[in-house]
Amino acid sequence: MFGDGAAAFLLGSGEDVIARIVDSVTIQEEAVGQWRSQGDPFLQNWEERFVSDVFLQSVQEAAVRLAARNELTPESIAKIVVSGPGSKAYIQAVRKLGCKEEQIQDPLLLSAGAAGTAHGPMMLTAALEEAKPHDKILLLTFGEGADAILLEATEAIAEYPKRKGIKGHISIKNNELSYSDYVKWKGMLQVEPPRRPTTNRPSAPAMYRNYHQNLGFYGSRCTECGTPQFPKQRVCVHCQAKDKMEDYRFIGKKASVATYTVDYLAATPAPPALVAVIDFEGGGRIMCEVTDCSPEEVEIGMEVEMTFRRLYEAGGIHNYFWKARPKR
C-alpha cells in the first residue's frame, strides 16, 4: 500500500496566484489509528473498521461545517481530494457528502501508493494540474482529526507553465524493482557490508561552509572570461584570473553525458554504480552518480537533469547532493 512522495506549494497573494484558499475547517480528535515509534521497522495499524468509522465522522463533520459557511453544494465542486485510510473509505466519505464518484480525484493508491502526510498535497497537486478557471476543489485530509480546505482556481491557472508534476513523475516510474532489492534498500534484510573501510562521517564545518553550493547547486563563473565551473573556484580554470568570480547556478541548465563508467566493484546498495561526467550548456562540468536508470540506458550525449538525493548516512548524519537522471 505504501509509496514515497512529496509535494511543495508556493503561497502568495495578488492576481497571479493559480488558486485561492476560500475557507478552511480543522477539527481535532484523539484517535490512535496508526503509529510508529522511533526504531519500529513497520507502521502499526488499529483495526480498519474502527479507523474508517472515525475517519468518516471526522471528515463529514469538517466538510459539513465548511459547506454551511460557504453555501457549498455537491454540484458546485469540481473535484474532491480525499486522503484517508484504506482503499474504500474515501468513496464512502464522498457518498455521505452527496457527491458522485466521478468527482473524486484519483487517490493515487494504485499508481503511487499511500505517501502518508504527503499524500493529500500530492492529490491536490494532481487536481490543480487539470483544474480550469473557477473550478472549486475540496481537500479533505485525516489524521487524529480532519482538515477541510476549499480552494478555487483563478484565471491565472490557464496560463500556468506546464511542470513535470504528478503525471510526469508517475509516467516515468519503473516497476521492475525486485523484492530482494526493495527489502535490502529498506534495511529489512541484512547483507554483507562492503569490503571497504567504513565511510567517514560528513564534516559539519564543511557542510556549513558549502551550504549554498551543495544545496543550491551554485558554482562560480569567471567575470574575466565567463567560464562557469563547479565546485566554486578562486582561480579560473580557463584564464587563471584570481578572485574574479561570481555565483553561478547550474540548476535549469541543459546538461548531457560526456562520458561514463559502469562500476561493478564500487560499494553501492544497487550495483552496478553508474558514474558520469556531465557537461552543462554554456560551460561547466561535474562528475556525479547517475540514478533512475539502468546501465543499458546510459549513453554518451544522453540529456540529463539534476536531482537532489541522499548520498549516504555515516555517523548518524545523512549526506545529500545532486545526481543526474535521464530527462524524460
Mean pLDDT over 117-133 rounds to 94
At 50, phi and psi to the nearest 5? -65, -50
pLDDT value at residue 183: 87
More confident residue, 248 or 37: 248
pLDDT value at residue 7: 93
Nearest Cα neighbor of 126 from 89, 171, 156 is 171
Q: Other C-beta atoms within 10 Å of 142: how many?
A: 25
> Cβ contacts of residue 102 below 8 Å, gap of 6+?
none
Residue 32 has pLDDT above 80, yes or no: no
pLDDT value at residue 303: 97
pLDDT value at residue 123: 95
pLDDT value at residue 307: 94
Residue 88 has pLDDT above 80, yes or no: no
Residue 276 has pLDDT above 90, yes or no: yes
**Residue 150 near residue 37 (C-beta atoms within 8 A):** no
> Is 311 exposed, middle or buried, given 0-12, 13-18 or 19+ CB atoms closer than 10 A?
middle
**Residue 69 near residue 94 (C-beta atoms within 8 A):** no
Residue 234 has pLDDT above 80, yes or no: yes
Mean pLDDT over 281-294 rounds to 93
DSSP category for residue 199: P
At 15, phi and psi to the nearest 5? -85, -10
First-residue to last-residue Cα distance in the chain? 26
Mean pLDDT over 162-181 rounds to 86
Cα 313 from Cα 319, distance rounded (Å): 6
CATH topology for the 19-171 domain: Peroxisomal Thiolase; Chain A, domain 1 (3.40.47)
pLDDT value at residue 4: 87
Q: Other C-beta atoms within 10 Å of 149: how many?
A: 20
Instruction: Report residue 170 CA to chain centroid gap.
Output: 11
Cα 95 from Cα 75, distance rounded (Å): 13
Angle, helix 89-96 to helix 48-70, in steps of 10 degrees = 30
Helix, strand, coil percent values for the chain (each to nearest 5): 25, 30, 45
Task: Give the pairing of strands 145-153 and 136-142.
Answer: antiparallel
Query: Range(s) for CATH 3.40.47.10 in the chain?
Result: 19-171
Dihedral of CA 212/216/217/223: which sign?
A: negative
Nearest Cα neighbor of 82 from 63, 54, 110 is 63
> Cβ contacts of residue 61 below 8 Å, gap of 6+?
27, 146
